[in-house]
Chain A
Amino acid sequence: MNRLLIDIGSTYFKIAEQGKIEQYFRNFDKSILNDLESKCADVISSYNKDDVYICSSANGGLSTLIIGLSNSFSLKYAVNIAFNSGINIIDTVLYNNISNETPPKDNIDVVIIVGGINSVDNIFDEKIFEYLNNVNYQNIVFVGTEKSHNYLQNNIKDIVLLENIISDKLQIREDELKSYLTDLYQADIMGKEDIKQLYALTNNQIFSTPYIVNRALPKIHEHIDVADPFIVVDIGGATTDIHYSRDLVNDNILSSSGYDRLVFKKLGVYKSRESLVHIAKQNEFVFELLEHLNVTENILEEKSDEATRVLMQLSIFLVLYKVSKHHASYIELNLEILNNIILTGGITQVLTQEDVDNITLFFYKKILHFHHTPKIILDKNYEIWTYR
């Protein structure tokens, strides 16, 4: 059966049929649907609506605020589930510190509250309502102890109550929250006229691109030469996405996915350029790196093509650095045992194989004291999203 796959990105869209991929820059004067139809009307009209599959990262994804009782359970589990559901922007608040935390100024698509196994009562009090009063949010969901259901329901308008993500044995339960978040994404799309119109082309659900990529990874070996454990790095305009084999982390999460995902929200080469430069300047290795690339610090302030290339290389370095054992954060990946790094997204259109090999080797030599690197694969055609 022939299928037509369409991926809507923030700068361009891609159309894949029978392994052949075409890319088109988006015309922002037109709606996505009009733009698509003006550029590939023939192709699209030759497919039945049942055979057209669309995924999108154009709308930026949902922003999330997670309020949890502990780092090792509530927050860790909720963050894991949220990332794997395709959510990009995640802020976390430890409930114990909630009175001292400044609520985020931005509009939050969904607030997730979690804490306690089902037998525990009286975890939450007025503090949470005071905090939430200052948060601008669209949706709110509770995935902690059942004993708090009544209390929260009586005090928070429209709160959705789902199965506790922490089991009685303190293990993760991901299903209900995961489908809630993917459905919410769906609803979010429906709220965005631009994307909603795309249902004129397909009878299938429109998913977020990272969700589709994550789902495709178990099949990746059939298409390109990679061996577990590997990471997929998608450095975009605003955020950077990493999908990683589960055995790269030493973590007590017993989840069903072979690959987990994580996002750095301020590591992008266009929209987040400033914060990328800021993060870079604070990194102790960055001057050696610039020297290695034979450029001066001034390049970071320039807007040239050369500057973009350097920034992209810099972002590869920073991403690896941020997940390495030298930088404790949400997770730490055992990069020593990596077999492959797959780079996808916009940077594959700018950087050459030599550029990426060069910067990765710098990282492996400088940080891990290795002499060579895992094999780097450039997903030039950006086709991972088509695997199934």
Chain B
Amino acid sequence: MTLLQREREIIVRNEYIDHFDFDEVKEFISGASKNLFISHRFKNSKEILVQPRGGFPTYDKVFELYKEFKDANVDVLPLTIDSNTRLNDYATAKKMLSLSEANDTDMLNGYPLVNHGYRTTRKMITHYDTPVSLRHGTPDARLLIEVALASGIFEIEGGPITYLLPYSKNFPMDKAFLYWKYVERVCAEYSKLNEPINRESFGPLSATLQPPAIVIVIQLLEMLLSLEEGVKSFSVSFSQTGSMLQDIVSSNVIKKLARHYADKFGHDDATINLVYHQWMGAFPYNREYSDSLINTSTVIASMIGADKIITKTRNEAFGIPTKEANALAVANVKYTLGMLKGLPKVGDEEEEENLTNEVHEILEAVFNDGADTLWRQVFNSIKNGYIDIPFSPHIINANKVITVRDKNSNIRFFKRGSVPISDKSFAFEKSKISLKDGDRVVDKIIQDIGIML
């Protein structure tokens, strides 16, 4: 038995798991319907795939949610996991699940997949015969993804950086890298059986004034960490920045550089796709404005040639949307997309050159770290503040970078901290910022965060 398989046997031997039958799971995946694989959809579809958000604690409610989505002609179904499961606290998840079932109220903010188990969940997934994407936020997702893959969920979102820096204060990052290595390896192994399992990184990060250079660097690094373990289908992603121009520039640069670095590291056989998240920041308390925001981001997704768009609803500012509101959002996005076919490619050479330079500059510093493995180079680079995201709660994050918007709403480095972009690149960023004398930076930041309010 391989080292990985021996570790897997230990991981699935858990208080909250019924006997885990690896042979049966292997057989299931080998014979699974192609329709369950988003990688297969990507290959055979020219259109942008639409994926909403959503998840409920009980099986029945998720089942109904999926029905609602299918009626709205959804392309990819989400399965959002509850926050107890994200912290590997299956005991609390179990308790809250039975309360939710007994009282018909939602005591969890998502689906406790481990407690439901793969035998049950698989029935629902195969029933709808549609790709499902696992959305969680778990640093140690080893057991979770075993259950997900065994259930027929063939897209796994997340990564050691993107699921840690925005969510955790002190989970040890070196452990997160090792636990995600396991995830990549299991996905790689199953990818040999049928269509490839798709891995997707989580580009929105803390969803607050994230500088595109840092977002792209993190996307490319998680991509490389995944491909080096044998994953063959990977999605990079980012969320709407608040500037259409910056979204276009970001998409052109990330597409170009993802291919460049994948090839450079010898992964020319891997497929890379682009995912676009509709606005992840604070939404207006006005449903009509929310509709406009969502429509605009749908237009941008088309302009940038995204392969998948992840949607929001007009009720975003008011808490968890109902399944009806959620399905309506899908229908609306699909409707808008219908008008946006065959758009010309647009760009901005100067902006793209600067962003490309910044990404290369940061990555060069990462690859120059003396460590012997890529994950350790990345780990050290985060410790050193080469990679530093604004508004992360994690103690490892340097918190020295400050970003503000320029007059066209593009997010710019105001302070670069230890991020190793060149003086020339930084000067370009600074030249775009116009702060009047006596203006407080903090007021500018508050205003820039609330740009859509």
Direct contact of A and B (CB under 8 A): yes
Point out residues on A near B: beta carbons under 8 Å.
171, 221-222, 225-229, 245-247, 250-254, 258, 336-337, 339-340, 369-372, 375
Cβ of B3 and Cβ of A258 under 8 Å apart?
no
Name the one of A254, A258, A340, A372 contacting B15, with C-beta atoms under 8 angstroms.
A372
Docked pose: A250 CA to B168 CA in angstroms: 10
- Interface residues of chain A: helix, strand, loop or mixed (majority): loop
Docked pose: A246 CA to B168 CA in angstroms: 14
Cβ of A375 and Cβ of B396 under 8 Å apart?
no
Cβ of B395 and Cβ of A246 under 8 Å apart?
no
Given the complex, which residues of B lie within 8 Å of A339, measured CB to CB? Answer: 10-11
Size class of B's contact patch? Answer: 20 to 34
Docked pose: A251 CA to B171 CA in angstroms: 8
Most chain A CB within 10 A, of B3, B6, B9, B10, is at B10
Cβ of B140 and Cβ of A247 under 8 Å apart?
yes
Q: Is there a chain A Cβ closer than 8 Å to B170's Cβ?
A: yes
Q: A336: nearest residue on chain B (CB-CB)? A: B91
- For B170-208 the 0/1 string (1 means CB < 8 A from A) is 111011001100000000000000000000000000000
Cβ of A258 and Cβ of B10 under 8 Å apart?
no
Cβ of B170 and Cβ of A250 under 8 Å apart?
yes
Docked pose: A337 CA to B6 CA in angstroms: 18
Point out residues on B near A: beta carbons under 8 Å.
3, 6-7, 9-11, 13, 15, 88-89, 91, 139-140, 142, 169-172, 174-175, 178-179, 383, 395-396
Docked pose: A300 CA to B139 CA in angstroms: 44
* Total cross-chain contacts (CB, 8 A): 53
Given the complex, which residues of B lie within 8 Å of A336, measured CB to CB? Answer: 88-89, 91
Q: B396: nearest residue on chain A (CB-CB)? A: A254
Cβ of A375 and Cβ of B170 under 8 Å apart?
no
Given the complex, which residues of A lie within 8 Å of B142, measured CB to CB? Answer: 227
Name the one of B3, B178, B395 contacting A228, with C-beta atoms under 8 angstroms.
B178
Given the complex, which residues of A lie within 8 Å of B172, measured CB to CB? Answer: 246-247, 258
13 contacting pairs across A/B (C-beta < 8 A): A226-B10, A227-B7, A228-B179, A229-B175, A247-B139, A250-B170, A252-B169, A258-B174, A337-B140, A339-B10, A339-B11, A340-B10, A370-B15
Q: How far is the CB of A109 from chain B (nearest CB, A)?
A: 30
Q: How far is the CB of B91 from chain A (nearest CB, A)?
A: 6
Cβ of A246 and Cβ of B175 under 8 Å apart?
yes
Q: How far is the CB of A73 from chain B (nearest CB, A)?
A: 13
Docked pose: A337 CA to B140 CA in angstroms: 10
Cβ of B88 and Cβ of A337 under 8 Å apart?
yes
Cβ of A227 and Cβ of B175 under 8 Å apart?
no
Docked pose: A245 CA to B139 CA in angstroms: 14
Q: How far is the CB of B240 from chain A (nearest CB, A)?
A: 33
Whether A245 touches B175, Cβ cut-off 8 Å, given contacts A221-B3, A251-B170, is yes
Most chain A CB within 10 A, of B13, B15, B174, B178, is at B15
Given the complex, which residues of A lie within 8 Å of B383, measured CB to CB? Answer: 254
Given the complex, which residues of B lie within 8 Å of A227, measured CB to CB? Answer: 7, 10-11, 142
- For the A-B complex with A225-B7, A225-B9, A337-B88 known, give 12 more contacts whose Cβ atoms are closer than 8 Å: A222-B3, A225-B6, A227-B7, A227-B11, A228-B179, A246-B174, A247-B140, A247-B172, A251-B170, A252-B395, A337-B140, A375-B10
Given the complex, which residues of B lie within 8 Å of A371, measured CB to CB? Answer: 15
Q: How far is the CB of B44 from chain A (nearest CB, A)?
A: 38
Docked pose: A336 CA to B10 CA in angstroms: 14
Cβ of B91 and Cβ of A171 under 8 Å apart?
no
Given the complex, which residues of B lie within 8 Å of A226, measured CB to CB? Answer: 10
Cβ of A258 and Cβ of B6 under 8 Å apart?
no
Q: B1: nearest residue on chain A (CB-CB)? A: A225
Cβ of B88 and Cβ of A228 under 8 Å apart?
no
- Complex A-B, nearest 3 residue pairs according to Cβ-Cβ distance, in ascending order: A227-B10, A246-B172, A247-B175
Given the complex, which residues of A lie within 8 Å of B11, measured CB to CB? Answer: 227, 339
